[in-house]
Amino acid sequence: MSSIHAQLINIKGQVVEQDSKNPIPLVAISISGTENKTAETDQNGRFLIKNVQAGEYNIIIAKSGYVPLTFKKVIGKNGLDLGKLEMTTASTAIHNSLADMAVADLELDNDMEVQEISGLLSSSKDVYANVASYTFSPMRFKIRGYDSEYSDTYLNGVQMNDMISGYGVWSLWGGLNDATRNQESSVGIETGNYSFGNIGGVVNIDTRASNYRPGIKVTYSNSNRTYNNRMMATYSTGLMNNGWAVTASISRRWGDNAYVDGVFYDAWAGFLAVEKKFNPKHTLALTALASPTERGVAAGATQEAYDLTGTNYYNPNIGYQNGKLRNARVRDNFEPVFILNHYWNINNKTKLTTSAGFRFGRNGYSALNWYDAPDPRPDYYRNLPSYYSQMSTPPNYLAAEQITALWKNGNARYIDFDRLYNVNYNNQDVIKDGNGNVVADGLRSKYIIEDRRTDQKQLNLNMLLNTEINKNIAINGGVQFRWNKTANFKTIKDLMGGDYWYDIDQFAERDFKNDINKIQSDLNNPYRIVRKGDKYGYDYDANIMNAGAWGIANFSYYKLDFYAGIDASYTSFYRDGKYRKGLFPDDSFGKSAKQNFMNYGLKAGATYKITGRHYLTANVAYIQRAPYFRDAYISPRTRDEVISGLKESKVFSVDGSYVLRTPVIKARITGYYTYMKDQTKTLSFYDDYYRSFGNYIMNGIAESHAGIELGLEYKILPVLTAQAAFGYGNYKYQSNPVYLQTVDNTGDILSEGKVYWKGGKVSGTPQTAASIGLTYNAPKFWWVGINGNYFGRSYIDMNPILRTDKARTELDDQYTKQEEFGDGFTMDLFAGASFRIAYKYFLGINVSVSNVLNNKDLKSGGFEQLRISQNKDTNTYARPFDSKYFYMYGANYFVNVNFRF
């Protein structure tokens, strides 16, 4: 091998525009590997890099206004002729950057010696995926209606989905846009080369230090969206001659939301990637990142509250304290992630990647709590005019008018923090134990702000093998081990002027006044007095382990590509209680019995290459998955009791596509169908009918997701491109699940039966969405574009209690019919320019304005409240509490300026 490295060879090629095949002059070419070199194309688009040592190189081809090409090549002793390299104009990439999302670089197929029809590049997002991910995101659009638990997210080959819920955890690297820009993704059931995949697609974020463009990039952004300001700086060495590569990035986001009061943002982020290439076979890479964030949270509100305040962006979580606005609900998280990867090129056809990842830290979510005092929330139903005019018997219209006046002048719409402090200042109290000994004497807080914590530790170990059996067959496979311990507990965040909080169960105190043991949160430490920073209420660990193996065989031939894969895994979890709850002394403390599940998945797919521009694809998958910890226990805060009949969920999914790729038109149309069954859902709430805090468990939930997707890009002129996307889905429930309602304090059964959900619509996303746009790319490297977007057929999240026999018998149909939100139209504008300064510096400016028509009446989500008022005389349901909604922001902008050198 040393003799090869000693020999000097040449790299040559020509860069042309993909659509016209015209040569592109002044394209920057850089290689990094055994050594670093740069070049530039001449007027005919040709380049030549002389006297390069043989070895493996990262090659970057970039020109302002075009999508950069990044790929790897092993350069042998005979040199390398890359032939004609086609670059695409950057309209699509520009649009994505304006949406402030990472864009996956196009991966180039450079095997010029094989005269075959190339397969579809799964690493390049198509038009529909781009529009659905970014343009539709203000309406909380979900591709194919799937929750994020059905899409897998990887960071350098290490799966990052939350093990408690399965959800994606993109917030762990929030603000690190430049550091997480290199992404490989697959759509739907399609598979990549690093995992078995899921029905909603897979994304792998590549953070190897050698894969970043060398140089420094500084970015400033300004917006009136979630935050006002963002600063980012990224530095990368590329792969240096000594085999080392380093990339570092830091950012800060801060400011207030322009639409919702109290939604502030204060977040830092840091990223470091270090890589050492010891020789052509062995490379070691370390990634470390963290994104500590504190942000105020908005809550949904009833339409009555929105109308009283005159805005659809009213936030009931806020109030004034000493003249300053304060948010009672604040998210505060800091969870660093470390990943170590070893890359072993066993030979030219086989690679083994071994990875270890560790995530740890804190995740808090604050909220008001109170004892023996009125509900302080301004939108509590008894604080609204409708309670006096519609729910009280007889109606008190005078009180309703007085409350309306208080809301409209602003006095009643806020949490009165000053009053809460005064209540605590005046609550002198003495607490004694069962023997009459004083355990606390002072100001006992009736109102506090608590911090609900879910602090995780997660370990990931996995090995990935990629091998080519021959030119037609490749096999990808791996083994994976994941372990997670999540500490679930509450702490006192603010005593709000008081001296202490008495840690007892106030619902148990109401129900068991004469039993001092039952009201204790922890019998091992009775009569607990807690102060700021102390744990209280509940404390338990969720312990989860998952181990599995998977393999996928890929076959590629002249007209047909196809694959088949299998996945097998074992999941085990248990609860470890830290408190001996007075209500459940035998079922709350210590380790519970383990819940064990064996699961498997099967998938297959094929691509038929009609020609090099026309493709037909089909995919099918069946996946059996263990239930998540969050769905397994009736009330994990209080006890170990597992839901009766807990079983694995099953998912069957199939899709088929026609894909067209020509120099003028790129299009994909896809039809899909997915059926999910044996799902479980657990709800906890205060039931006004039974006057008890309880748990509501549903088993046997089934739903189907069917629909079509269409993405189209048409180059009208070399400088003018039209883009369109359309999605139509029919997402509905296919079963009437059984339910069981229990009292949280005792476990007694309150009611059981069926929830008549069959035929109801799955909520959380528009089921119809469309977009059409134009982008003009000027030859002088500026661009401008416009999008028009339509959203329709969104549905409210249903309250299952309203679909039981009792509710259907006692309530009017208007209360049991699922609400459909109105449809709407929005328009977006974007523009930008790129400047090259002194042939080595680059300045980029991007501006986007979303919803320029300022449509503030589009509901982006909503839910029916679980509480139902009752008629005390007849002991029947009277009417449900009003639904709560969220609205899409009106006109909003994002300005991004970056300087690269």
Q: Is the pLDDT of residue 763 over 90?
A: yes
Nearest to 779 by CA among 84, 89, 69, 220: 89
Ramachandran angles phi, psi of 384, nearest 5°? -110, 150
Under DSSP, is residue 702 helix (H, G, I), strand (E, B) or coil? strand
CB atoms under 10 Å from CB of 581, counted, come to 24
Q: What is the pLDDT of residue 95?
A: 39
* Model pLDDT for residues 94-123, shown as the tens digit of each residue: 433 433 332 222 222 222 222 334 344 343
pLDDT tier for residue 80 given thresholds of 50, 70 and 90: confident
Beta-carbon contacts of 723 under 8 Å, excluding residues fewer than 6 positions away, are: 91, 92, 95, 127, 131, 712, 713, 714, 771, 772, 773, 774, 775, 787
- By 3-state DSSP, what share of the chain in percent is helix, strand and coil, each rounded to 5? 10, 50, 35
* Beta strand pairing call for 215-223 and 229-236: antiparallel
* Model pLDDT for residues 156-211, shown as the tens digit of each residue: 999 999 999 999 888 999 999 999 988 888 889 987 788 999 999 999 999 999 99
Pair of tokens at residue 891: 């006109």
> From CA 396, how far away is CA 404, in angstroms rounded?
12
Q: What is the pLDDT of residue 94?
A: 40
Q: Give the bridge partners for 352, in sequence order.
A: 344, 465
Q: Is the pLDDT of residue 866 over 60?
A: yes
* Model pLDDT for residues 807-834, shown as the tens digit of each residue: 999 998 889 999 999 999 999 999 999 9
pLDDT tier for residue 873 given thresholds of 50, 70 and 90: confident
* Beta strand pairing call for 202-205 and 152-155: parallel
> From CA 574, how far away is CA 34, in angstroms rounded?
50
Give the least confident one: 60-64, 204-208, 693-697, 896-900: 60-64
Over residues 727-753, the mean pLDDT reads 93
The top-scoring range by mean pLDDT among 39-53, 60-74, 269-283, 744-758 is 269-283
User: Greater confidence, 371 or 8?
Assistant: 371
Beta-carbon contacts of 821 under 8 Å, excluding residues fewer than 6 positions away, are: 794, 795, 796, 858, 859, 862
CB 153 within 8 A of CB 166: no
Which residue type, as a one-letter code, is found at position 30? S
Under DSSP, is residue 18 helix (H, G, I), strand (E, B) or coil? coil
Domains in the chain: ranges and CATH? 1-114 (2.60.40.10)
> From CA 269, how far away is CA 171, in angstroms rounded?
11
pLDDT tier for residue 89 given thresholds of 50, 70 and 90: low
Which residue type, as a one-letter code, is found at position 56? E
pLDDT tier for residue 19 given thresholds of 50, 70 and 90: low
Q: What is the pLDDT of residue 65?
A: 63
Q: What is the pLDDT of residue 96?
A: 39
CB 228 within 8 A of CB 254: yes
Three-state SS annotation for 658-692: EEEECCCEEEEEEEEEEEEEEEEEEEEEEECCCCE
> From CA 880, how far away is CA 866, in angstroms rounded?
8
Pair of tokens at residue 361: 């830290």
pLDDT tier for residue 331 given thresholds of 50, 70 and 90: very high
Q: What is the pLDDT of residue 22?
A: 74
* Model pLDDT for residues 396-449, shown as the tens digit of each residue: 989 999 999 999 987 899 999 999 999 999 999 999 998 899 999 999 999 999
Over residues 758-778, the mean pLDDT reads 96
> From CA 618, how far away is CA 610, in angstroms rounded?
14
> From CA 734, how far away is CA 759, in angstroms rounded?
6
* Model pLDDT for residues 529-548, shown as the tens digit of each residue: 999 999 999 999 999 999 99
Pair of tokens at residue 859: 């509901």
Give the least confident one: 33-47, 164-178, 242-256, 436-450: 33-47
CB 678 within 8 A of CB 634: no
What whole-number percentage of the chain has pLDDT above 70? Answer: 94
Over residues 664-669, the mean pLDDT reads 95
User: Which ranges of 497-646 does DSSP label H, i.e. alpha helix?
Assistant: 506-511
* Model pLDDT for residues 879-894, shown as the tens digit of each residue: 899 999 999 999 999 9
> From CA 621, how far away is CA 605, in angstroms rounded?
9
Longest dimension (CA), the chain: 97
Task: Quickly tell me which residue has 């064996």 as its tokens.
Answer: 598
Under DSSP, is residue 178 helix (H, G, I), strand (E, B) or coil? coil
> Exposure of 872 by Cβ count < 10 A (0-12 exposed, 13-18 middle, 19+ buried)?
exposed
State the average pLDDT for the chain.
Answer: 90
Beta-carbon contacts of 661 under 8 Å, excluding residues fewer than 6 positions away, are: 613, 615
Q: What is the pLDDT of residue 699?
A: 93
DSSP 719: T
> From CA 604, how far away is CA 620, in angstroms rounded?
6
Under DSSP, is residue 400 helix (H, G, I), strand (E, B) or coil? helix
> From CA 448, how far away is CA 371, in angstroms rounded?
9
Identify the sign of the CA torsion 747, 749, 753, 759: negative
Q: Give the bridge partners for 431, in sequence order.
A: 440
Q: Give the bridge partners for 700, in sequence order.
A: none
What whole-number percentage of the chain has pLDDT above 90? Answer: 73
